[in-house]
Amino acid sequence: MATSEAEQGRFEGPVLGTPGDFPDRPQTRGRFVVHGVIAILCAVLAGGWGYVMWAAKGNPAVIDQVIAFDAGRADSIKIVFEVVKPSDRAARCRLRAMDVGHVEVGSREVEIPAGEGYVRLTERLETSAQATSGDVEYCHLV
């Protein structure tokens, strides 16, 4: 019994066929248009996302940073932080204390008057439970 070339593993030619084997296949121009539309859509979406990320940068005019905090007492926490802002503007910062479960156990707003561009402050917050961390939630110009 004779075996075919395909059974012997010596089949020559494209496995999936040639373009002539698929007369119903769309022309390549249509595929080019589809790929072009997808590329334009991706570019617009990437540009839009870039704009959203650029616009969401917050208020760069005020920079705050926690230097240290001391949560040694059960009823309060001491936070040392610094603020850099325009010297002719006042700022308002919100400090908060968090417990081990990341629940806010104390907060307070601190006013920083105009006059100095760099300020280093030490503030004590009263807490309703033992705090494990303290931070500056935000600082805004007023």
User: Is there a contact between 139 and 85 (Cβ–Cβ < 8 Å)?
Assistant: yes
CA dihedral 109, 110, 114, 119 (to 10 degrees): -130
Residue 41 banded pLDDT, cuts 50, 70, 90? very high
Q: For the whole model, what pTM was predicted?
A: 0.58
pLDDT in tens, 43-93: 999 999 988 887 776 556 888 999 999 999 999 999 999 999 998 999 999
CA nearest 79: which of 89, 91, 93? 93
User: Is there a contact between 40 and 32 (Cβ–Cβ < 8 Å)?
Assistant: no
Phi and psi torsions of 70, nearest 5°: -125, 110
Q: What Å distances lie between residue 2 and 5, 6, 7, 10, CA to CA?
A: 10, 12, 10, 14
Q: What Å distances lie between residue 69 and 56, 84, 90, 137, CA to CA?
A: 28, 19, 24, 14
pLDDT computed for residue 120 by the predictor? 94
Gap between the Cα atoms of 30 and 86, Å rounded: 58
Could you tell me what percent of the chain has a pLDDT over 70?
85
pLDDT computed for residue 112 by the predictor? 92
Gap between the Cα atoms of 69 and 132, Å rounded: 9
